[in-house]
Amino acid sequence: MRKPIILVVALLATIATFAQDKMHKHTGEKLDVKILKVGEFVITYTYPNETAEQTIGKYAVAKIEYASGRKEDITEKIVITGKDDWEKVVILEDVANSVGLKKQGEIRGKTAGMLSYRTAGNADRKSMERLKKEAAELGAPFVLLTSEKDSRWSTQSIKKGFAYSYK
């Protein structure tokens, strides 16, 4: 009599485990969750037996395996090995995109001041390039842009932000 009861309890526990979605993060972490919504930039989910909604930026998530068996690739992992990979660095303009990523530090990209042979467009592009190179040196594939200053009377451009990585 005891064996059938134990078997039924084990079977129900197994079914409950398989009825959850699995979210795979780029850090290698796998979360058993219930996916509520996959938005343009964020994913909304809940943990089992909880009602509090959690959000995570899509850049932190590799894929989702739904309880139905369907798999959805969310984002590719961006690998930065050094300063030469600066072109792979992604600029984030909304703080919601950085949820789930780890802040590496504040960075800055700046171009020269008053005397320069650059046009305003070139100065803006060069300061963005310097910002991305600084992030790449930290091994960070993402930059959350926090400040942009362009001088009206010169070709100086200053950009500030925070570098983010997966771990």
The distance from CA 38 to its chain's CA centroid, rounded to whole angstroms, is: 14
Same-domain status, 91 and 157: yes
79 pLDDT higher than 90: yes
Give the CATH number of the domain where residue 40 resides: 2.30.30.100
Residue 37 lies in a domain: yes
Q: What is the pLDDT of residue 126?
A: 85
Q: Looking at residues 47-60, what average pLDDT do you find?
A: 95
pTM of the model: 0.77
Q: How far apart are the first and last CA of the chain?
A: 50
Residue 78 lies in a domain: no
Residue that finishes a domain, picked among 51, 73, 95: 73
Domain enclosing residue 25, as ranges: 2-73
Give tens-digit pLDDT for 84-125: 999 999 999 889 999 999 999 999 887 765 555 556 567 778
Same-domain status, 103 and 42: no
| 3-state percent breakdown (helix, strand, coil) of the chain, nearest 5 | 30, 35, 35
d(CA 24, CA 117): 48
Secondary structure (3-state) at 159: strand
> What are the beta bridge partners of residue 46?
34
Contact between residue 137 and residue 100 where contact means Cβ atoms under 8 Å apart: no
Residue that finishes a domain, picked among 73, 91, 106: 73
DSSP per residue over 15-45, as a string? HHHHTSEEEEETTS-EEEEEEEEE-SSEEEE
Same-domain status, 69 and 87: no
Q: How many domains does the chain have?
A: 2
Same-domain status, 68 and 89: no
